Structure formats: C-alpha cells, structure tokens
A = this chain, B = another copy of it.
Amino acid sequence: MTELSQDQQRLLEQLKEVGSRSYHDQHPFHRRMNTGELSREAIRGWVANRFYYQTQIPIKDAALISNCPLREVRRAWLYRITEHDGVQGEEGGIAAWLRLGEACGVPREELLDDRHLLPGVRSAVDAYVHFVRTEPWPVGIASSLTELFAPDLMARRLEAFQTHYTWVPSWGFDYFQRRLTQARKDSDSALDLTLCYCSTPELRQAAVQALSFKCGVLWAILDAIDLKYGPSPL
C-alpha cells in the first residue's frame, strides 16, 4: 500500500473504529470463553455452531469472485477458497475445524449433518453470504475486514484453551494456530483492496456499513449460542 490519501486515511480510521466498538471479542460469551467459565457443553455447542460459518466461507468467497470483473482482484482472492477447502485429503480450514470438533468431543458426522445448528446461527450466516452475493464486490471485500481484529482474539482464545480447557487435547488447535498468521495476511490484503476500490464517497460509506453489518453477524451468532448454552438466568 502506497501512502494513503486523506479519504483513505479517514476510511481506515472509521473501519478501525467500527471494529473496536462492535467486534465480537467483547461479546459476553467470548469474555466467558476467554476467562475459562464455559462448560464443556457450551464449548461443544460453540464449536458445532461456528462450524456452519466455516462451511459457508468458501461459498461466500466464490460469490465475491463471481461478482468481480477484475482479473487481478479475482487472482488475489482465490487462495481464500483453497485456504478453507484445501486441495485434497484433510487439508484446509474446514478439515481443521472438524479436528477441533473431534478434540472437543463433537464427532465429525454431528458437525457435518448440522444437527446442533441453531436457527439464529444459520440465519446470521446465511445473511452474510447473501450480503456478499448481492452487494458490489468492493463492499463484499470490506465485509471481510473483521479479520483485522481476529488475530488478537485468536491468540487469547488459544491461550484460554491451553489454560482453562485442558480436557481438549492440543492436537485440536490446528485451526486456531493457522488463523493466527493467516488472518493477518488475509486482512492486510483485504484492507489494501478496500482502500483501493472503495474509491467514491458512496462506496466508502458502504464499506463502513459492511464492516458494521459483519460485526453484527458475528455478534448474532454468539447471541444465539449464548442463549442456548450460556449460564442459566439467576
């Protein structure tokens, strides 16, 4: 990224502001996860439900590529599909999440058949895919920028699992570990593309709204999980 224009600098600040206000690291469920307060059932429920989000990411990224007439942007985005789907065997993020499930005691087939999937999680994730499918592709890219804030959360989560949830064997943490570095790489690329292609006042505003929407999606996922698996009301 070359030096930013004033408009780009302002957009960057607005995006960071949205993330610091609305990213789901502040959700009560995540706070309790990171301080070791979740039951095994709650961890399993989170793993099973978040899996649906993982399965839809390559579908969302293919929709974005399908909306984009610029070969250089398609080229820059395509590795994300491979990153999640892998090329063969047990490669890729989806397979890594299946291993996390097994490590937490949720059998592979229970993840794959969606038996634990909550309606609120499904609708939030489906809304995200629909958003990227139907919005202009630069706005779709901006909606991925929750990745900007992911590495810190992922690092805290990994530490929380290693400290508090020692009943989960560490061979299950492959997904967390790969995202620690990959999310930074992804968000750098997505941020460059957002700043480059959200080049009108309308697109810049839409980019900020897209990130806000996406924070809402992640928050809604945790709301549904928290309601089902969270602590009973006093």
Binding site for B on A (CB under 8 A): 55, 58-60, 62-63, 65-69, 71, 74-75, 78, 81-82, 85-88, 92, 94, 133
> Do residues A62 and B74 form an inter-chain contact, with CB atoms below 8 A?
yes
Q: What's the least CB distance linking A224 to chain B, in Å? A: 21
CB closest residue in chain B, given A81: B78
Contact of A81 among B74, B92, B94 (CB under 8 A): B74
Q: How far is the CA of A75 from the CA of B87 in the complex (A)?
A: 6
Q: How far is the CA of A68 from the CA of B68 in the complex (A)?
A: 19
Give every chain B residue within 8 A of A65 (Cβ-Cβ): 58-59, 62, 66, 81
Q: What's the least CB distance linking A210 to chain B, in Å? A: 18
Give every chain B residue within 8 A of A63 (Cβ-Cβ): 62-63, 66
Contact of A88 among B68, B75, B86 (CB under 8 A): B75
Contact of A74 among B60, B69, B85, B133 (CB under 8 A): B85
Give every chain B residue within 8 A of A71 (Cβ-Cβ): 58, 85-86, 92, 94
Known: A75-B87, A78-B85. A62 touches B62 (CB 8 A): yes
> Do residues A58 and B85 form an inter-chain contact, with CB atoms below 8 A?
no
Give every chain B residue within 8 A of A86 (Cβ-Cβ): 71, 75
Q: How far is the CA of A82 from the CA of B133 in the complex (A)?
A: 21
Q: How far is the CA of A66 from the CA of B55 in the complex (A)?
A: 11
Which of A60, A62, A82, A87 has the most B CB atoms < 10 Å from its CB?
A62
Q: What's the least CB distance linking A31 to chain B, in Å? A: 33
Contact of A59 among B58, B59, B66, B88 (CB under 8 A): B66
CB closest residue in chain B, given A94: B71
Please give 6 more A-B residue pairs, beta carbons under 8 A apart, in addition to A58-B65, A59-B69: A59-B66, A59-B67, A62-B74, A71-B86, A75-B88, A78-B78
Give every chain B residue within 8 A of A94 (Cβ-Cβ): 71
Give every chain B residue within 8 A of A82 (Cβ-Cβ): 78
Q: What's the least CB distance linking A182 to chain B, in Å? A: 18
Q: How far is the CA of A65 from the CA of B94 in the complex (A)?
A: 16
CB closest residue in chain B, given A59: B66
CB closest residue in chain B, given A77: B62
